Amino acid sequence: LVSRENHPARSVVRVAGVPIGPGTMTLIAGPCAVETPRQTLAAARMAQQAGASLLRGGAYKPRTSPYAFQGLGEDGLRILADVRETTGMPVVTEVVSAHDVSLVTEYADMLQVGTRNMQNFALLQAVGDCGKPVMLKRGMNATIEEWLMAAEYIAQRGNLDIVLCERGIRTFETATRNTLDVSAVPVAQGLTHLPVIIDPSHSGGQRELVLPLSRAAMAADADGLIIDVHPTPEEALCDGPQALVADDLAELGRAVREFPPLL
C-alpha cells in the first residue's frame, strides 16, 4: 500500500489543511515536552514567527529513564488545544500506547509514533484506525525496509495519511546523539509515495547541529522539518540542549524560505 511501485505519484498529506509532500518544506516546531501553558504558548509564538505552520509538543514522553519527566498526559493535551485555539496552529503530538489513541485523537491534528514505538504493532494498528494523519518516526535501530513495513501496518487499516520522519539511527559514533541518515530521504522517497521529513533536533541532540542538519535535509529534498524550540532551554524538563531559542529558529526559518527549490 505504501510502495511507489503501485502508486508512482508522490503523495501530499494534509494536516488540518497544511500540506506535507513534494514541493513543500513544511516546518513543524514547538517544545519537546508540554510543561506549562505559558511555556507552550511562548514556544508556539516563536514557531509561528519563524514560519512554522504546525505546532509540535509532547504530552506523553517516552523517556529512557522511568525517573525522567514523563509528560503531563491529558493536561498537556488540553494545553496544546488551548494554544491551537489562540494561535491557529494545528497540533502534532505523540501517542505512546494503543490505549491512549482515542483520547489523543480527540485533541491532536496529527498523531506521532516515536522511534521507540516504530514496531509497536498494536499501536500502529490503533493509529491506522484513528482517522487522523500519522507521523511515523524511524526506529533508531530499524532498516528502511522495516520502517516501510511499519507504515504498511498503518496503511492496512485504511489510513494512508502517513508522513515518515527520519530522526537519526544508532551507529558507532558517539559525538552526536544519533547519526542522521540523510540518505534515508532519497532512498525512502524512491521506495514509497509517502512524504519524508527530518528531525534534526533528536538526531543531533545539540542546538548547534540543528541548522546544518536542516540544510542537509533541504539539500536532500526532504518534505519538511520538525524542530524542538523552548523559550528558556536551560529550564526545560526534557531535551533542553537541543532546543532552539527564538534567534536560532528565526535563522532556520530564513534558511528554509531562502532555500532554492531543486526543480
230 binding ligand PEP? (CB under 6 A) = no
The set of residues, in sequence order, having a beta carbon less than 8 Å from that of 64 and lying 6+ positions away, is none
Nearest residue (beta carbon) to ligand PEP: 114
Residues 78-97 that bind ligand PEP (CB under 6 A): 94
CB of 35 to ligand PEP, least distance (A): 13
CB of 198 to ligand PEP, least distance (A): 11
CB of 263 to ligand PEP, least distance (A): 30
Closer residue to ligand PEP, CB minimum distance, 13 or 227: 227
Amino acid at 103: L
Beta bridge partners of 28: 54, 226
CB of 248 to ligand PEP, least distance (A): 18
Alpha-carbon distance 181 to 97, whole Å?
27
Beta bridge partners of 203: none
Residues 165-194 that bind ligand PEP (CB under 6 A): 167
C-alpha cell at 40: 507552550
Considering only 30, 71, 76, 114, the residue that binds ligand PEP (CB under 6 A) is: 114
CB of 52 to ligand PEP, least distance (A): 15
Closer residue to ligand PEP, CB minimum distance, 10 or 103: 103
58 binding ligand PEP? (CB under 6 A) = yes
CB of 234 to ligand PEP, least distance (A): 19
127 binding ligand PEP? (CB under 6 A) = no
User: Would you call 129 exposed, middle or buried from its count of C-beta atoms within 10 A (0-12, 13-18, 19+)?
Assistant: middle
Alpha-carbon distance 184 to 208, whole Å?
22
- Could you tell me the sign of the dihedral formed by the alpha carbons of 35, 41, 44, 49, in that order? negative
202 binding ligand PEP? (CB under 6 A) = yes
Closer residue to ligand PEP, CB minimum distance, 137 or 193: 137
Alpha-carbon distance 95 to 93, whole Å?
7
Closer residue to ligand PEP, CB minimum distance, 166 or 248: 166
Beta bridge partners of 53: none
The set of residues, in sequence order, having a beta carbon less than 8 Å from that of 85 and lying 6+ positions away, is none
Alpha helices in the chain (DSSP H): 37-49, 74-87, 101-107, 121-128, 144-156, 184-191, 200-204, 207-219, 246-258
32 binding ligand PEP? (CB under 6 A) = yes
Considering only 137, 177, 207, 230, the residue that binds ligand PEP (CB under 6 A) is: 137
Binding-residue total with ligand PEP (CB under 6 A): 10
Three-state secondary structure call for residue 250 = helix
- Give the residues lining the site for ligand PEP (CB under 6 A): 32, 58, 62, 94, 114-115, 137, 167, 199, 202
